[in-house]
Structure 1
């Protein structure tokens, strides 16, 4: 007989396909008790009528997310208490509301509706996110049904804008009009949305699930860091289609997506998307919340096994091998500026300050677009906006109108390249302020380094979760409390340097002890940028310099 062993059997990871169906944590139990999609009717019938105090806590801090609602942070709570207080102590009685904008595609009427909701129900707040959504704040539960009615009247929704669901599908804002696009993904985005968003087949995933489908030759949807990404390529027979990437994501364990090595024809995108999402649903890890993203499954399985399971268990056919996208390390991804469309008209991309706008500002953008003959406005994955279809003779007029609203078509490097997450102003996870800090930093750098020549990205995040993509920025700033000159704890940032996507993708370098207080931030950034200019080789980008620079030169 074999010797007895005291080794305990390996614990299951909560994978449904392997029989682990029991609730394994509070979130899984909550989802098992009731599908998040069912909360909509309770909001309409009960909570909006009886008010905030009537809301079941399991809905308030769980299922509300299935319709884009998070309680925002109560005012006056400093960052040191973020991880200490209970959720009910952090909750305000108001909500952040995320409007889902798949592919970043808006009409004038849709943008105007969002603007009107902001001014009527959200204290004139609005942020353009780096997921192409619009976020509003100060929303009361009593007003949510009226907001939904307004959004749905113009074809918009908040359904599955948050939660353990397939969130907004990123798409190139220039889909169908760019002269150099590989393929127009508009129809594929529409089909995936219509076939699968709101389906109870995918309304209980292990964690959030981020998708992109794009044929942009600048790769503006950042396929490297999405859970599933369809990237435009030309197939073996010369027909355009998509290369499939799975398992990208940042947060506290950043990972780049892996190519499965397959070619997906346009007409198969919806079923392949459903197959990948089903693998995640059934094999994704549900036992531990912090390991529940698809990137951990890909890391453990590898792309070869994932492809095999996808093809044999979910598709029932083998996908053909396909080529990788041809990345260019020097391309800007944000579509800012005036550029020619394939039909001879122009698109005009412009930069607010770190994505912060307002309902009043959005209404003005709608007016400007309409006055210049456009009915198509787009959001980007870099907190920017684009107006399409501007006749050449009207281009300078629209540029002047936008610039007069502080919406820069010809921005400085710092206005163009700085992003910030929501921060402590509204977010319950945040430790420090971000939006105002980013706007102030832009002003300071424009004053101190006028005409700075290089496209250095500066991304500011209020906590470790990387909503503002700090690990793939040239200068990534992760909010935390740091020790100030007088020994007290003050707002500050850990610094990541030299992150990048594209041909030379890498996560930013962390130098031991490299932190800055919020007050000293402009001085630090100026110092490191001046050293870069002094030490760089010919045409050497910041990320390459930062990777080779001495630690002392990065401090």
Structure 2
């Protein structure tokens, strides 16, 4: 009798895999990419659209290829979330763009930070949001200003190339690479090599969907390797040799899956070749027929790790990889780098917490000035929408901390300030159903006021739609934006609630309790209630996620 898997593989239409001969465009996105590579839009933006203005932009470029350079039209103001799924793209489009600046490895020097700050103030109405993938996003950008923005970014070694689109997007890395006394391996050189070899290369600019990468030797596992398309995690062999453990096929969105270990050891000199092999498999064997099944996680899930490893070694690398060990469990309860900590060179790094990643051009200038006054020339972005200042001498730490704290950039934040994240939301995003940033900020303020003594680790992730840009399924409290009915019978903004998601040793997705929703207005009351139940019932040292698994449903509502 045939299994569901074998029936799946015999589907006559195939999944649009190039390696199996399916080259015909199978949907509008594939047709658009076949007609013209997304990388080619750059010259049209410079020569045509920036001169002719918004109305001169070809729709196929506007809603497709411009993403290859980090540009999305933002949402037209005043369109409520109930219309998100109903209106056509051109009805949702504003005449302004979000522009995503890729910051590979989260690495910035002060000159780069100041250029971003200037661009924000001159061309983005002061907007500058830190994302949970270490990027900076600007808003209100007009097409006429894009060539000058690119020129200024590229003069300091930054770009927006493949910051969005069906491409290899930003390569996440530990912000402490090279300075953390505990790190297994410094992956800076590997991040750079992958960037230089693959980003902007037409051989890899037409993937089935986006491709998210993480590469780190951090013992806190700060790059959340479990939910990336590809991740290299620092490991040490019994001989003392260091390298990387390879993970593939992680991702969240509406069909979440955790990444899977291939069980191989990748030496530092092999990382870029292995990366090229995995992204090659995705390009050639990835599913292109249905857009919602086009991420590499579906291929890995169907093939299994044994077949994936075999194809990688035999077809792409032409040689086997040695078996290797799994990474050690993450260090510490919080996988971030907030606070004051020693570097291996005797200096200190200082991590601080902007509120849900929301900054502006003036704040970026301020951060650069504070860092420079305290002897630092380097700052970093993190995957938790936070920032880190490196290389602070011991006698300058207290002064630095005082200046950051005085400017609402706390180094010793509350749990709620430290561990609440929010996606862009309806303010700018065309996919969103509800507002997120202001709701999350209000939630932080309310919880700090109501629960001033609460100090346990607790992640609260706020998302404006089901796509999980803010990683709702792996948060202690994950909030998925939707319209709900309040007690007065009105349809209002609210959230479906996921509880007890986690990464690390006990990785798993949050528990959905039937009918568990809240209005945005009642959100602080709900979180206060469930956190209070946790505090009253938890065992010594019991994480929130573990408590959720055994808690009565009544205590989760």
TM-score by length of 1: 0.98
The counterpart of 1:104, out of the listed 106, 109, 112, is: 106
Match of 2:242 in 1: 240
> 2: distance between equivalents of 1:45 and 1:10?
44
State whether residues 100 and 136 of structure 2, in contact with CA within 8 Å, keep that contact through their aligned partners in structure 1: yes
Q: Deviations over 1:139-193 (max 9, x none)?
A: 0000000000110010000000000000000000000000100000000000000
> 2: distance between equivalents of 1:331 and 1:37?
42
Q: Deviations over 1:267-321 (max 9, x none)?
A: 0000100000000000000000000000000000001100000000000000000
2:354 aligned with 1:328, yes or no?
Answer: no
Look up the SS of the partner of 1:201 in the other structure: helix
> 2: distance between equivalents of 1:267 and 1:452?
46
Q: Deviations over 1:482-524 (max 9, x none)?
A: 0111111100000000000000101000000000000000000
- In the TM superposition, what are the counterparts of 1:223-262 in structure 2 within 5 Å? 223-262=225-264
Q: Deviations over 1:221-262 (max 9, x none)?
A: 000000000000012532100000000000000000000000
Match of 1:309 in 2: 311
Shift of 1:74: 0.2
State whether residues 220 and 331 of structure 2, in contact with CA within 8 Å, keep that contact through their aligned partners in structure 1: no
Look up the SS of the partner of 2:428 in the other structure: coil
Look up the SS of the partner of 1:112 in the other structure: helix
State whether residues 329 and 502 of structure 1, in contact with CA within 8 Å, keep that contact through their aligned partners in structure 2: no
2:172 aligned with 1:170, yes or no?
Answer: yes
Q: Deviations over 1:86-125 (max 9, x none)?
A: 0000000000000000000000000000000000000000
2:495 aligned with 1:493, yes or no?
Answer: yes
Which stretch of structure 1 is more off in the superposition, 236-245 or 471-480? 236-245
Match of 1:3 in 2: none
> 2: distance between equivalents of 1:528 and 1:330?
24
Look up the SS of the partner of 1:511 in the other structure: strand
> 2: distance between equivalents of 1:330 and 1:551?
29
> 1: distance between equivalents of 2:366 and 2:541?
40
The counterpart of 1:405, out of the listed 404, 407, 412, is: 407
State whether residues 329 and 503 of structure 1, in contact with CA within 8 Å, keep that contact through their aligned partners in structure 2: no
> 2: distance between equivalents of 1:413 and 1:218?
17
Match of 2:84 in 1: 82
Look up the SS of the partner of 1:354 in the other structure: helix
Q: Which runs of 5+ in 1 are unaligned?
A: 1-6
The counterpart of 1:47, out of the listed 46, 49, 57, is: 49
The counterpart of 1:523, out of the listed 522, 525, 528, is: 525
Match of 2:435 in 1: 433
Shift of 1:329: 7.2
Look up the SS of the partner of 2:204 in the other structure: coil
Match of 1:537 in 2: 539
> 2: distance between equivalents of 1:15 and 1:236?
40
> 2: distance between equivalents of 1:144 and 1:9?
45
Look up the SS of the partner of 2:41 in the other structure: helix
Look up the SS of the partner of 1:479 in the other structure: strand
Q: Deviations over 1:446-488 (max 9, x none)?
A: 0000020211110000000000000000000000000111111
> 1: distance between equivalents of 2:180 and 2:239?
23
Match of 1:196 in 2: 198
Match of 2:221 in 1: 219
2:137 aligned with 1:130, yes or no?
Answer: no
The counterpart of 2:143, out of the listed 133, 141, 144, is: 141
The counterpart of 1:511, out of the listed 484, 507, 513, is: 513
> 2: distance between equivalents of 1:418 and 1:484?
24
Match of 1:4 in 2: none
The verdict on how the C-alpha distance between 1:329 and 1:372 changes in structure 2, with shifts beyond 3 A counting, is closer
Q: Deviations over 1:381-438 (max 9, x none)?
A: 0000000000000001111111111101010010001000000000000000000111
State whether residues 236 and 323 of structure 1, in contact with CA within 8 Å, keep that contact through their aligned partners in structure 2: no
TM-score by length of 2: 0.98
Look up the SS of the partner of 1:349 in the other structure: strand
Which stretch of structure 1 is more off in the superposition, 230-239 or 161-170? 230-239
The counterpart of 2:285, out of the listed 283, 286, 295, is: 283
> 2: distance between equivalents of 1:329 and 1:218?
5
2:474 aligned with 1:472, yes or no?
Answer: yes
> 2: distance between equivalents of 1:299 and 1:332?
29
> 2: distance between equivalents of 1:18 and 1:213?
30
The verdict on how the C-alpha distance between 1:54 and 1:548 changes in structure 2, with shifts beyond 3 A counting, is same
State whether residues 208 and 282 of structure 2, in contact with CA within 8 Å, keep that contact through their aligned partners in structure 1: yes
